Amino acid sequence: MKLFIPGPTQVHPDILQQMARPAIGHRTPECAALWGAARAGLRKLMHTENEVLMLTAPASAMMEAAIRNLVSGPSLHVVNGAFSKRWRDIALANGKDAHTLDIPWGEGVSAAGLRAALEERVYDVVTIVHNETSTGTVTPLEPLKAVMQDFPCTLLCVDTVSSMAGSPVLVDDWGIDVCLFGLQKCLALPAGMAMASVSARAMERAAEVPNRGWLLDYLQLAKGNVKEQSPTTPSTAHLYALVAQLKRIEEEGLENRWQRHADMAKATRAWATSHGWVPFPAEGNRSDTVSCIARGEGPEFVGALAALKEQGILVSNGYGDLKNKTFRIGHMGEHNMNDLTNLFTRFDAALNAEVQA
Ligand SMILES: *Cc1c(COP(=O)(O)O)cnc(C)c1O
């Protein structure tokens, strides 16, 4: 199967080989060296000096961790798609006083919109999904920094699951207190680990929040890091693969990697527009890692998606209510322009075959 879905993504064969290495004891110096190398590489990738916590778990575990560690009063959740809604739902499931700032799908929260919401009450956190995978919508975070500085009691928590390592995320420059992601999107590894950087002030907050639980407790995870250990048994297969992949990313050059994704996004939009389809997100909110395309005046595409699937090529239909109205091409991770051009050729052939049938 060729995966052009917005995660999980294609894994490089060399990296798959790393996953096949024999297990090692998780209290050995070898494992500590791996743990330390992964954390150092991640700090560089994320552009942060903050503590980096790691856990063998899906990315959603770190969404829940942010809620359990940082929220005792009201929380604010910017909701502009399925994953940002999930974060609000996680807060509700944990019995928190969760408030929603609804933004139309396909748009991101503006500085003025965020300011108005934060003026209503003192929130412990605001949660934002940087790159809404359900709609291919990116929210520029840099313009929000000045707003956050005027509300110093509110911590900024950002999900970068489908943008980290695919498009620019500058954690410290942008003032992100908690920045979380997993492995199976732009990092192009099999799913299985969750990561988060946590600022010093967020760590201080966690120390004051009761009932943080055990598995996701920031303090316990940070304590393990002192010895370069995980409190629980980590997947050493993922650690080997992660360290090797971070090295591959460094060899490509992070900025080259960002540019490769931006170029693929541009080519995808040009190809879609040439068919009469339109990018779903607003101008200025179009993701570099996943393109969400709406039908517009273009041809019906549902049959082509099914035909591609029969050929072993997966492209995603729209999410939820957007099903059959939009489709999504994930051009993240290891894909290059050549792969994408081949996809367009096959997609066009499937459309033409349908016209002739
Ligand atoms: C995929 C995704 C998630 C969920 O990741 P899991 O590893 O399945 O928990 C969360 N947020 C965004 C933006 C995603 O794209």
One-letter-per-residue 3-state SS of 162-179: CCCCCCCCCCCCCCCCEE
What is the per-residue pLDDT for 357?
Answer: 77
Q: How far is residue 227 from each of residues 49, 52, 118, measured CA to CA in Å?
A: 18, 13, 39
Which segments of the chain belong to CATH 3.40.640.10?
13-250
Q: Are 9 and 330 in contact (CB under 8 A)?
A: yes
Residue 300 CB neighbour total at 10 angstroms: 11
AA letter at 144: L
Strands (E), the chain: 2-3, 51-55, 74-79, 97-102, 125-129, 131-132, 137-138, 155-159, 178-182, 194-198, 278-279, 290-294, 313-314, 316-317, 326-330
| CA angle (171, 76, 159) in 5-degree steps | 35
Instruction: Give the contacts of 73 (CB within 8 A, at least 6 positions apart).
Output: 97, 122, 123, 124
Q: Are 156 and 205 in contact (CB under 8 A)?
A: no
Q: Looking at ligand 1, which atom is closest to the CA of residue 63?
A: 10
Q: Looking at ligand 1, which atom is closest to the CA of residue 160?
A: 13
Q: Looking at ligand 1, which atom is closest to the CA of residue 58?
A: 7
For the segment 154-196, what is each residue's pLDDT rounded down to a tens digit? 999 999 999 999 999 999 999 999 999 999 999 999 999 999 9
Long-range contacts of 177-181 (CB under 8 A, 24+ apart): 177/70, 177/125, 177/201, 177/202, 178/66, 178/70, 178/125, 178/202, 179/46, 179/48, 180/59, 180/62, 180/63, 180/65, 180/66, 181/59, 181/62
DSSP string of 238-264, one letter each residue: HHHHHHHHHHHHHHH-HHHHHHHHHHH
C-alpha–C-alpha distance, residues 299 and 237, integer Å: 44
Q: Residue 267: name the closest of 167, 336, 324 by CA.
A: 336
Q: 184 CA to middle of ligand 1, Å?
A: 9
Residue 129 CB neighbour total at 10 angstroms: 29
Q: Which residue reads 């540019």 in tokens?
A: 259
Q: Tell me which of 60, 67, 288 to substitute to probe ligand 1's pocket, judged by most ligand atoms within 8 Å of the beta carbon.
A: 60
What is the per-residue pLDDT for 335?
Answer: 95
What is the per-residue pLDDT for 38?
Answer: 98
Q: Looking at ligand 1, which atom is closest to the CA of residue 130?
A: 13
Q: Are 18 and 241 in contact (CB under 8 A)?
A: yes
What is the per-residue pLDDT for 188?
Answer: 97
C-alpha–C-alpha distance, residues 173 and 298, integer Å: 41
Q: Which residues of the chain have pLDDT under 50?
A: none
* Cis status, amide bond into 13, omega within 30 of 0: no
Q: 151 CA to middle of ligand 1, Å?
A: 28
Q: Report the run of H or E that residue 309 belongs to, with start and end.
A: helix 302-310
Q: 29 CA to middle of ligand 1, Å?
A: 32
234: helix, coil or strand?
A: coil
AA letter at 268: T
Q: 232 CA to middle of ligand 1, Å?
A: 22
Q: Tell me which of 88, 129, 138, 161 to substitute to probe ligand 1's pocket, judged by most ligand atoms within 8 Å of the beta carbon.
A: 161
Which segments of the chain belong to CATH 3.90.1150.10?
254-356
CATH architecture type of domain 254-356: Alpha-Beta Complex (3.90)
What is the per-residue pLDDT for 1?
Answer: 82
Q: 350 CA to middle of ligand 1, Å?
A: 30
Residues with CB under 6 A from ligand 1: 7, 58-60, 83, 129, 133, 159, 161-162, 182, 185, 191
Token representation of residue 328: 């999504």
Q: 352 CA to middle of ligand 1, Å?
A: 34
Which class is 13-250 in CATH?
alpha beta
